[in-house]
Chains A and B, each alone.
Chain A
Amino acid sequence: KQEVTQIPAALSVPEGENLVLNCSFTDSAIYNLQWFRQDPGKGLTSLLLIQSSQREQTSGRLNASLDKSSGRSTLYIAASQPGDSATYLCAVRPPPGNTGKLIFGQGTTLQVKP
């Protein structure tokens, strides 16, 4: 059974810092991995999607890496801003992929202090 774990559960950093969020999964047989942002009481915003054949994806100040063999992914946020404060979720899609089912981690709640 696939399990997804995110560490740390919460993180507080001063504005401007670079930071790394961690995600681990128990079964390396994945279709893809996705990072989401969730603001309090709101839905999910997709940040980055990494296919199982890829090693990283970048969007602006965000960079996500994937190491399937070790069951790990990281989300790197450069030059953090107060507006980055949110909960970040990692989700794995098991194969074959056409089911659309996602398995989520518990999330990392980030607070960026001005």
Chain B
Amino acid sequence: GAVVSQHPSRVICKSGTSVKIECRSLDFQATTMFWYRQFPKQSLMLMATSNEGSKATYEQGVEKDKFLINHASLTLSTLTVTSAHPEDSSFYICSARALGQGDEKLFFGSGTQLSVL
């Protein structure tokens, strides 16, 4: 099946620093990628949708200037958490929809556990 690679799997950073998370589709082209966030004991919540070559669409309540999303190619999307604070500590996970394979299947990365000290 299709593989989505997400890095890093875990990151610990100091408050105020920026963290970049990468999501790559390894064996298919992803026209659309989705970024989710999961706080402990809560469900995955969609943060934003990114389409290759265009600006991301953010869900209500998600600060676009804080969570910068870049989808510069059909195989790579990045999420940058700028000026991270302890409340940004969470599990971030991406998913990708394959080009030309309909809209039924989404493939998920392995997630990134972010801890901000």
Chain A residues 31 to 56 lying within 8 A of chain B, measured CB to CB, are 32, 36, 41-46, 49, 51
Chain A interface extent, by class: 20 to 34
Contact between A100 and B43, CB atoms less than 8 A apart: no
Cβ contact of B43, chosen from A42, A98, A101, A107, cutoff 8 A: A107
Query: From residue B53, how far is it (CB to closest CB) to chain A in Å?
Result: 17
Residues of A near B105 (CB, < 8 A) are 46, 49
List the B side residues contacting A106 at CB < 8 Å.
41-43
**Cα distance, A103 to B91, chains bound together (Å):** 16
Which B residue's beta carbon lies closest to that of A107?
B43
Query: Is there an interface contact between B103 and A43, defined as CB atoms closer than 8 Å?
Result: no
**Interface on A for B, CB 8 Å cutoff?**
4, 32, 36, 41-46, 49, 51, 89, 91, 97-107
Ranked 9 nearest A-B pairs via Cβ = A43-B110, A44-B108, A104-B44, A104-B43, A106-B43, A43-B108, A100-B97, A98-B103, A43-B111
